[in-house]
Chains A and B, each alone.
Chain A
Amino acid sequence: MARIELSDLAHSYKRGASAPADFALKPMNLTWRQGGAYALLGPSGCGKTTLLNIISGLIIPSQGRVLFDGRDVAHLPTEKRNIAQVFQFPVVYDTMSVYENLAFPLRNRGMAAAAVDGRVREIATLLDMTGELDRKARGLTADAKQKISLGRGLVRPDVAAILFDEPLTVIDPQLKWELRSKLKALHKALDVTMIYVTHDQTEALTFADTVVVMHDGRVVQAGRPDELFEKPAHTFVGYFIGSPGMNVLPASVAGNQAQIAGATIGLRWSYDVPPGKRIEIGVRPEFAMLARPGEGVPVTVERIDDLGRSRLARLRLREHAVAASVPDELSEIGETAGLILQPDHIHVYADGERLEGRA
């Protein structure tokens, strides 16, 4: 049970790195509160696993501090940090039974046999593995093996945090849902900090109450799932979260007016645009509406995707591709149409970072 703070943390796999490109993790400050359910979300190679391994102590960071309840543990080995971690691929001890596998982390820490037994049976019940406790781990399916790995992470009663490194990659989709809800339930039951690394936004958004989005070794936004959706702090967040992602269009902004590809659009707020930066506006397809020709910005229609409950228009605004919602009442869509952007939901970005507007 602990609050985990990362202070001026950075890591490079090269020795004596100085250029920003050498750093797998760019300098960052971040706090993980006790008992939170976090998801660390980002594409492959963005530094998620590096960050996780720094927290667990498998990697010593090149600079900065890792504080557990205010105590710097950056240079302590894993064994002394009281942290549990579950890896992407199942790690089981082949020659042991399921029971012995689950008991292993406890026995290694010298827990009394009776306490071990109670704890192992409790976790086995949570994971629906009570019937398999006496089986050897070797012959089990990949699903079952990963459940054992999860169990070994969960079994220790006093850990500061449990870290999951894409733990459901090898699991069947059906079971994935089940295990994820189970983890969520366990989180509530155990009141332990959980950090869940994934590149799957659905996984992140359903598991976590705080999602930390990483991009290129940097934390670009940490917030509730609805914040990430409604106010993406970075164009990357807008693009990475949501399906399809946010439309990002180069624009020039002056006051509460934006010019996109020759058309003028009204904004909800006014912006002071810093000079010399790349200015873009971002609007999610959910807040971009297809309209009849002559209304809004003129666009050409490339195709309409029928998603069942709704329709999605793939449009072209000069050379830029745009995705937009199609209102139910709109029919007979021709080759040209109009596009209406809801001013409340248009964000302005300078070099990728979101600008705060003023009234």
Chain B
Amino acid sequence: MIPAAQAMEPTTGAVTAPVLRVQGLTVSVQTEDGLRPLVSELSFVVRRGETLAIAGESGSGKSITSLAIMGLLPPPAVRVTGGQVMLGETDLATLPESRMRAVRGDRIAMIFQEPMTSLNPVMTVGTQLIEAIRAHEDVSRSAARARALEALRAVRLSQPERRMTQYAHELSGGMRQRVMIAMALALRPEVLIADEPTTALDVTVQREVLDLLRDLQREMGTAIILITHDMGVVAEMADRVIVMQNGRMVEEAATKDLFARPREAYTRDLLAAVPRMGAGVAQAEKPADAPVARLSDVVVRFGLKGGVLGRVVQNVHAVEHVSFDIRRGETFALVGESGCGKSTIAKAIVGLVPHQGRIEIAGQALEGLDAAGQKAYRRQVQMVFQDPMAALDPRMRVGDLIAEPLAIHGLGGVAEQRARAADLMARVGLSADQLDRYPHEFSGGQRQRICIARALALNPALIIADESVSALDVSVQARVLALLRALQDEFGVAFLFISHDMAVVENISDRVAVMYLGQIVELGTRAQVFGNPQHPYTRRLIDAVPVPDPAHQRMAQARLAGEVPSPVHALGAGPERVRLRDVGQGHLVAEG
């Protein structure tokens, strides 16, 4: 089943007339120096039953375009300064707000990136759905309720009656995005704008939501404008693609042609930077000498308090009996979906959360050390986080940020620390004369380089990279990954690489552990885990990754979205312990 071919021939009849026609759209922001264009002279059409992807990196203007079509640009600074948005015979760009309101939600609907925050937290799901229907159709409450229920069934939510009375926080991310889709499609709009609809979701959930969108499109013949940065999602979903850069269209092509024969250099670079499964660089097996880090039977639980005296009545079993070694100079990856405990392990290693079991760094455990010993321990482990802007103090100069670990550990004088900071800047590909600048003067990728330089300052044995490249654009991501590899060869540092992105993990890691609900279900070398995945969960994770190749075929598996298993257990109780079995050459797989 090739989705692209399916959508070319909509089952609802061959209608080729464009539903939406954007002509010369220009969106500008009012600045102190006058108008600055965010989107320039953009033109495209979308036909019934067709999916048009608008792809591009951050700042390309793809989201601004979608907000311009919806008439939701943030006033008064940003506005449409030229061009037309023709929905049938109506130009939306010049439509007064009162008439635009009648179009919004009825003829054009939109779903957003953040399902966690896109639903009103204090209103039930049912109320929000009913309200959307009654905003456009003069129907009774009970009729609207019936329609809402039908919409929830259409997005394959389990127990739709119960969902109607629930609040957003009682649903998982995937369920919330389904509710958003139900709300958007309840009135059968002609155009659906999906702005990064699966970016914030786990990969297996992303898979389900993409399948759902495609099925619903086939049933309703909705035209979809899919805004995304993910070329894998583009390859799977779109009939045609527009590649944007700096507010301008770089290239427009049928999806198959774009992937097979990209015309523009920018498109070629973009496609080349996309991490692909099975493209990992073959690396020599690292010698199995004394491990840099050794975790044995590590358990992390958080107590939930209750009762009159506020005693612990339940435990969140975040990490359960996890054991692994990280060898010198190797990249050990922890993968798993949100809430599986991978970041909690990182926190336990640096001593930010209390744990049971034993964690050793260079043969030394944190427990029982005096203050000086703990400081020395911490010198061995450094962290690089997901959001570099949040990880850098905005009021400190970059040079001081990089030298701060040296100052904390009292290494060298001020001049030596500064020289070391300058040296590290050069190592991570930045210039030493930028030392006196502030973090906001750098781009996202450069900021992450600064964080890496800071982590390297103490020459640690282990760097924990917690989703360190997840927030970066693919081209930047590729360069940061290359930098990490080069630094590893140079400094011999080991990485604990924590990520939800299977393709990235497959590209950078030597060994991989797959986590599910606080426990490791599979552990082995990259070749073992990705080449010969044994555990069903590992296979599901790998299969769910969107493949940046339109010719790739995939088995569709429709699943009902229901409750996710909970890591919360009563005192004394707990999850069943997963036992790992060696299936050959150190490849460990959960039994049963």
Q: Do A and B bind each other?
A: no
Question: Which A residues are closer than 8 A to B by beta carbons?
Answer: none
